[in-house]
């Protein structure tokens, strides 16, 4: 009976809270050939979120158009999927990298000192820059995703790989 309950909980909770299990290593790395709208983690190992995505009610409304993920100053930041760098450098008071992906998604990473150049093709998991301090009280990466003009929750697009049950 405990096994059945565990299996049912995994079917319900892992998709909704897959982030927690991924951070503990309960989910395998995304398989090669993942769907084009599935993303990989921009930091390794999978980081802890410190501020969630908060969708704005309208285009100019308040919200948090991405997630903040814990990291260390100088840590490599990775491309979440294959694509073309459309911006790598300064914008306002910080540096960032933005990538256009084949599936129509656009990801952004800040504050990041880029090691790639605008126009460069990058592959999923490729280092694109180094995390800089300054966005959060502790060093963190702000990771955003857009589909056209719509902001999406990056954590909902993660490729979670094969689900494995953990001992109770």
85, part of any domain: yes
What average pLDDT does range 112-121 have in this prediction?
97
106, part of any domain: yes
107, part of any domain: yes
Q: Are 109 and 141 in contact (CB under 8 A)?
A: yes
8, part of any domain: no
Percent of the chain with pLDDT over 90: 44
For residue 127, give the CATH number of its domain: 2.70.70.10
Q: Are 89 and 95 in contact (CB under 8 A)?
A: yes
Residue with the larger pLDDT of the pair 129 and 165: 129
Polymer length of the chain = 168
Angstrom distances, CA of residue 37 to CA of 2, 57, 63 = 35, 24, 23
30, part of any domain: no
69, part of any domain: yes
20 confidence band (pLDDT: 50, 70, 90): very low
Q: 3-state DSSP helix/strand/coil percent for the chain, to nearest 5? A: 15, 35, 50
In this structure, of 10-19, 104-113, 141-150, the range with the lowest mean pLDDT score is 10-19
Looking at residue 38, the DSSP 8-state letter turns out to be -
pLDDT given for residue 165 in this prediction: 58
In this structure, of 30-34, 106-110, 153-157, the range with the lowest mean pLDDT score is 30-34
1, part of any domain: no
Q: How many domains does the chain have?
A: 1
112 confidence band (pLDDT: 50, 70, 90): very high
Compute the distance between CA of residue 163 and CA of residue 12 in angstroms, rounded to an integer: 12
Compute the distance between CA of residue 124 and CA of residue 103 in angstroms, rounded to an integer: 13
- Token pair recorded at residue 21: 């299990």
Structural domain containing residue 126: 35-157
168, part of any domain: no
Whether pTM > 0.95 for this model: the answer is no
User: What is the gyration radius of the CA atoms in the chain, in angstroms?
Assistant: 16
pLDDT given for residue 11 in this prediction: 32
């Amino acid at each position: 009976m405990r096994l059945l309950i565990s299996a049912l909980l995994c079917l319900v909770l892992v998709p909704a809270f897959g982030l927690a299990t991924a951070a503990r290593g309960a989910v395998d790395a995304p398989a090669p050939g993942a769907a084009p709208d599935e993303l990989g983690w921009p930091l390794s190992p999978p980081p802890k979120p410190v501020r969630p995505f908060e969708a704005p009610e309208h285009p100019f409304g308040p919200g948090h158009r991405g997630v903040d993920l814990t990291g260390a100053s100088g840590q490599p930041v990775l491309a979440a999927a294959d694509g073309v760098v459309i911006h790598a450098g300064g914008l306002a008071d910080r540096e960032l990298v933005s990538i256009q992906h084949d599936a129509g998604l656009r990801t952004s990473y800040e504050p990041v000192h880029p090691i790639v150049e605008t126009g460069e093709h990058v592959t999923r998991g490729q280092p694109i820059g180094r995390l800089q301090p300054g966005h959060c009280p502790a060093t963190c990466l702000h990771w955003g995703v857009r589909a056209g003009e719509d902001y999406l929750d990056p954590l909902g697009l993660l490729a979670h790989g094969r689900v494995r049950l953990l001992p109770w």
